[in-house]
Chain A
Amino acid sequence: MAKFELTLPENTRRFLHDAGELSRFAARFFAEGFSPRYEVLEFVRQCFVVGYKSLPLAGLTAFIMGLVLTMQLHPTMVYYGVEAMIPAMVGISIVREIGPILTALIFAGKIGSSIGAELGSMKVTEQIDAMEVSGTNPFKYLVVTRTLAATLMLPILVIIADAISLYGSYLGINIYENVSFYLFFKQIFDHLLFMDVVPAVIKTFFFGFAVGIIGCYKGYYSSKGTEGVGRSANSAVVVSSVMIFILDLLAVQITDLL
């Protein structure tokens, strides 16, 4: 151990160690992910588990969020006499920020913990070691497929969740006044720009990758038996959630520069 490391507090040293290991883990993902052999069937299965099975939860959350956001905004917008701006305001809020962040957090809670716990339990029961012994590359089969599935499925999940959320908003505004479906969505699209949609979609790839890679990392390096499995699952959710906010902050800064 280097002298510099010994001068740092234990927590800081552990944090930096984890950050470095995670970076190496991510680099290994890119190195092994783009080289044959590809675990296509496992990737498709993981897409189904990660993406499709997350849709009910993400969809329900998004619907409620759109409905509630509209109902909460309505009195204030009426007070200022700009209730006609509700569709545009809700649309931009959901597409740019609320949809991606909320869905990513739900995704992190459901998929991050699931991956962490699954890989953690495989680790502590030495199934991963057994795979290595049997000639299967556990990293390709377990990590690459799950991380890639999370990276590709979260954007799709976010787009569908955005649509559901906007529909919830449409129902919400119709509680108070009569707005046609066409007019509601026309007002949204009249105010949306490419710069609202494209960066929002792009950042969700990073969110998905963060959730996948952190969940896999935490599970892949799990230890201390069943207690370690729970800790892996928990830390996978916590770290990926924090990472989502950090990435979002970076995405906003980069978008502002464009």
Chain B
Amino acid sequence: MQKHTANSVKLGVFVLAGIFLLVLTLYILGKNKGMFGASFDLKTHFRAVNGLVKGNNVRFSGIDIGSVKNIVFVNDTVIEVTMSIERKMKSIIRSNAVASLGTDGLIGNRVVNIAPARGEAPLIKEGDLLPSKDEINTDEMLQTLRRTNDNVAVIAEELRSTIHRINTSAQLTELLEDRTMSANLKASFAHLHEATEKASALMTDASATLTLASQGKGALATLLTDTTLSQEIRQVVKKIKQVEESADRLANDLNQVVVSVDKDYNTGQGTVNALMKDSLMAAQLRQTIDNVEKGTETFSQNMEALKHNFLFKRYFKKIEKEEKKKAVQKKSQ
């Protein structure tokens, strides 16, 4: 009898364990599908659902919040998907949230993804129609990929052509094989480096100068801050202006002279005209100059004769000695 009771207990445990596991499994599956919690319906429209079936999950920002309840045709281009959503999501999802189709992993089940959108919108209500975004179709992706491939083929062909031209270019080959080029480049870089260093030093000096100037020291600071200097500069500028005005007047006078001369020349009157156009006067003037030259030469001979005359010889020697003395003094200085 005791053995019979023990067997009955074991059997009871066995049966209850089996029933418990079955119920637990069904409960978890039901809970996953939102069968036991309070829920409400939301709708959205798609052009194509791409394999979505009843019972597929609905996610909001990646979290499972419900399942697809029904899928019906509205017309030949619109399919209405009704989703059963957990009631607690009523206080979170807004009416501008966007529904889209996705896949659970790379090859997993289809899912409806609801994503929040920017901007303010009221919270959703029972039976609201959410805006939807059509999924990128695989065929469309392949078509885009095909266009990309075509473009890549064109680019590759052009690249090949360019490389061929580079390979067959004599000038480029010569340039590449020119060993002096690298030396020149090196030298250029050295000069560039040197120039950069000088520029750097210059900038350092400028910086120091500016620092001094900002501290009120140095010539630049004086130039920038000394009021008397600016006064003097102003006066200098004023004088330069006066000189400029004098120069203007002089130029005007000269201009008047030139105009007068030009007038005389054109009218055949005046001294200038006589000097420039009267050949007789020019001949007389030349004769006069010749006479003056001859007179000067004769005077020079007379003076030389005076130097050698005993009455004046002493005087000229004295002058010669003084000049020599001055020359020696200048050298010693």
Partners in one complex: yes
Q: Which residues of A contact B (CB under 8 A)?
A: 44-45, 47-48, 51-52, 55, 81-82, 84-85, 155-157, 159-160, 162-163, 189-194, 197-198, 201
Measured in the bound complex, the distance between the Cα atoms of B109 and A190 in whole Å is 10
Choice from A84, A157, A189, A193 contacting B18 with Cβ under 8 Å: A157
Contacts A194-B29, A197-B26: A51 and B21 contacting too (C-beta < 8 A)? no
| B15 close to A (CB within 8 Å) | yes
Cβ–Cβ < 8 Å partners of A163 in chain B: 21
Q: Pick 7 A–B contacts, CB within 8 A, sort by A.
A: A47-B11, A48-B10, A85-B107, A160-B17, A189-B29, A191-B109, A194-B33
Residues of B within 8 A of A (CB): 4, 7-8, 10-11, 14-15, 17-19, 21-22, 25-26, 28-30, 32-33, 55, 57, 64, 105-109
Q: Which residue of B lies closest to A192 (CB)?
A: B29
Q: How far is the CA of A167 from the CA of B18 in the complex (A)?
A: 15
The answer to whether B8 touches A48 (Cβ under 8 A) is yes
What residues of A have a CB within 8 angstroms of the CB of B4 in the complex?
45
Question: Interface on chain B toward A: helix, strand, loop, or mixed SS?
Answer: helix
Distance between A205 CB and nearest chain B CB, rounded to angstroms: 12
Q: How far is the CB of B110 from chain A (nearest CB, A)?
A: 13
Tell me the nearest residue of chain B to A80, going by C-beta.
Answer: B107
Q: Which residues of B sit under 8 angstroms from A193, Cβ to Cβ? A: 29, 55
A201 pairs with B22, CB closer than 8 A: yes
Contacts of A51 in B (CB 8 A): 11, 14-15
By secondary structure, the A interface counts as helix
Are A155 and B29 also in contact (CB < 8 A) when A48-B11, A52-B11, A193-B55 are? no
**Which residues of B sit under 8 angstroms from A156, Cβ to Cβ?**
14-15, 17-19
A26 vs B91: C-alpha distance when bound (angstroms): 59
Q: Is B29 a contact of A197 with CB atoms below 8 Å? A: yes
List of A residues within 8 angstroms of B30 by Cβ: 194
**Chain A residues in 8 Å Cβ range of B106:** 81-82
Smallest CB-CB separation from A195: which chain B residue? B55
Residue of A nearest to B14 (CB): A52
A155 to B14 CA separation, bound complex (whole angstroms):
12
Q: How far is the CA of A159 from the CA of B16 in the complex (A)?
A: 11
Q: Please give the distance in Å from B62's CB to the nearest CB on chain A.
A: 13
In whole angstroms, how far apart are the Cα atoms of A47 and B14 in the complex? Answer: 10
How long is the Cα–Cα vector from A84 to B105 in the complex, in angstroms? 9
What is the chain B residue whose CB lies nearest that of A149?
A: B11
Closest CB in chain B relative to A162 CB, distance in Å = 8
Given the interface contacts A47-B11, A51-B11, A85-B105, does A194 sit within 8 Å of B26 by beta carbon?
yes
Residue of B nearest to A158 (CB): B18
Q: What's the Cα separation between A157 and B29 when bound, in Å?
A: 20
Complex interface: chain A residues within 8 A of B107 (CB): 82, 85
The answer to whether B29 and A55 have CB atoms under 8 Å apart is: no
Question: What residues on A are CB-neighbors of B14 within 8 Å?
Answer: 51-52, 55, 156, 160
| Most chain A beta-carbon neighbours within 10 Å: one of B11, B15, B108, B109 | B11
Q: Given A51-B15, A82-B107, A193-B55, are A45 and B29 neighbors across the interface (CB < 8 Å)?
A: no
Contacts of B17 in A (CB 8 A): 156, 160
CB distance from A144 to the nearest CB of B (A): 18
